[in-house]
Each structure stands twice: as structure tokens, then as C-alpha cells.
Amino acid sequence: MRNLNLDQVQTLVAIADLGTLAAAAQALHLAPPTVSLHISELESRLNAQLVVRGRRQASLTPAGEALVAGGRRLLAGADEVVEQVRRRARGLEGLVRLGTTAGVSPHLLPRLVDMLARQSPEVDVRLDVLGSAEAMARLAAGTLDLAIVALPQAATGQVQVQHWRSDPMVALLPPGWKAPRRITAEWLAEHPWMSFGPATQMHRLIMAWFAQAGLHGRPRMELNHPLALRSLVAAGQGAALLPLEQPEVRRDDPDNAGLQVRPLHPPLLRELGLAYRMDQAHGAATRAVLDALQALSAR
């Protein structure tokens, strides 16, 4: 059997995403007969019906769904290979696939990208926002090179984990709230507050802080994005516990929008680590990103 034609696979994926052959033709800048020919040739090559053509919509058969699922991976892999070839042809050194937990604020990542642009312009970083467990699994599978993960994480023979940052957790409070100088679990339990979702290390960290006081924390809302939580606090929807990644919080910082920042009692730290594949650790591109991240580590 001949190899799959990636252009034809891309046509099938477009039909799956857009619902009709006509919409796929428009999106791919192809003539409608060409789209039909792509599907017919795929079906002939695989000896399987892939698409059911209706009057208004096109739907996938189970075989078509299987090909679309695998085809997305093939197309992503092909795009990555093409990008690597183009970069090498331009004399650029390499691509580093970096996963980062959603708990890392937008303050750190732009600083990382800016530092690399100045110090290692030949290195390109592709960012993926992932849960720490998924990042560790993708490192082991070889689809990531480096990840910022919440600790603790177990190292393996393929993946090494080292401590990166210890950031104090603080309570962000709406501007008009009257609050003590330090926030306890007992005080917070009597007020509406918001947190990260149950699948995150941040959620488990906060729940353990409440449990230390003999309480079961019940957040009003759960969102896995620091800026969204900040916005809700600014809107007066409740408090939020977030890591303080900058040593000083200025009142005129637009991200704070006049929010009150209070330390926690007892103190609570968010620990982050750097996880990386052992076979990539000594590559020049990965090493440059690791060095830049180490420069951003909390002292």
C-alpha cells in the first residue's frame, strides 16, 4: 500500500472541523472537485468509507474518525519537521518544546522569551500550557523537551526534575474589603474565595493549608488561570490565593487594579521545578533555555 498523502489527510481533517466539503474547499483554497477527489483516493487507498455525504452536512464514519485522530498527529509532526528544516537552512540552532503549568503567571514567561531573544536569538521556544502530570507524561513520550512543573514530581530514568522556584502564596482581596494584616484559613473560610480546579497541584496545596487548620476549604469558583482569578477579585467576586512571583507589588501595576495583597498565616509556598529529558539536557538549544530559566529562579 502506498503511503498516505498528507494533503489528502489535511482535507479530511478540514471536513471534520468544518462539516461540509464546500467549507473545507474554501478554507484550503481548493476547487470542490479536488476535495471530492482527495476523499475518494483516500477511501480507495484504505479500502474504507471515511465520509458520509449528506445534503447539507458531511459526517465521518468510525474509520474516518480514526484517520482524523491519527492524521492530526501526522500533520503536527510534519509541520514540526518542516519548521526544523527551515530553521537549519537559515542557520538557526533549534526548537525547544517547553510545557508550563497554568499556575505560572504571565509575568515570568515574557521575561523568559525576552531574555532568549537577547542572549540566544538562534533558539526558538514553543510553549504549551499543560497540567504538570500531562507535562511529565509528554516528556517521557518525547513530545516535550522541557517543562515547568508543580512539585513534587517523581523523576524517572528518562526525565530529571530539579527545584526551580519557591514563591510565597498570598491572598488577593477586593479593594473595598476590610481584612486583617495576615489572612488565616479560619478568616478566609468565612468569606467567598476562588481557587484553581481540583486536578491541579495548586488546588491540593491550598486544600492542605485549610486542612492544617482543621477545615475543608470550599471555593466559590474554580478557574485555572491567574489573570482570570485576578479579574474576578477586582470585580468584587471574592478573594483568591495566588503565588507572589515578584518581590514587590506596586499599587499602580495595572494587573493589581487596586487589589489588596495580604500574606498568609501560617505561610504557604508554591514550589516549582524544571523537568527535562535526559537525552536533551546537553543539547545547546535546551541548555540555553534551562540557563535562562535558572536566571529567573527565586533567590
| Average pLDDT of span 102-131 | 81
- How deeply is 145 buried, as exposed, middle or buried, from its count of CB atoms within 10 A (0-12, 13-18, 19+)? buried
Q: To the nearest whole number, what is the mean pLDDT of the chain? A: 87
Measured over the CA atoms of residue 244, residue 246, residue 247 and residue 252, the dihedral's sign is negative
Q: Per-residue pLDDT tens for 246-297?
A: 654 444 454 555 799 999 999 999 999 999 988 876 678 888 888 888 888 8
d(CA 137, CA 76): 18
Same domain, 35 and 155: no
User: What's the grid cell of residue 71?
Assistant: 492524521
Same domain, 25 and 48: yes
d(CA 257, CA 248): 15
pTM passes above 0.75: no
User: For residue 11, what is the domain's CATH number?
Assistant: 1.10.10.10
User: For residue 97, what is the domain's CATH number?
Assistant: 3.40.190.10
Element (H, E) at 131: none
Same domain, 260 and 202: yes
d(CA 185, CA 216): 10
d(CA 215, CA 68): 48
Q: In this structure, what DSSP letter does residue 264 have?
A: B
Domain that holds residue 179: 166-270
Q: Per-residue pLDDT tens for 70-96?
A: 999 999 888 888 877 776 665 556 788
Tally of domains in the chain? 3
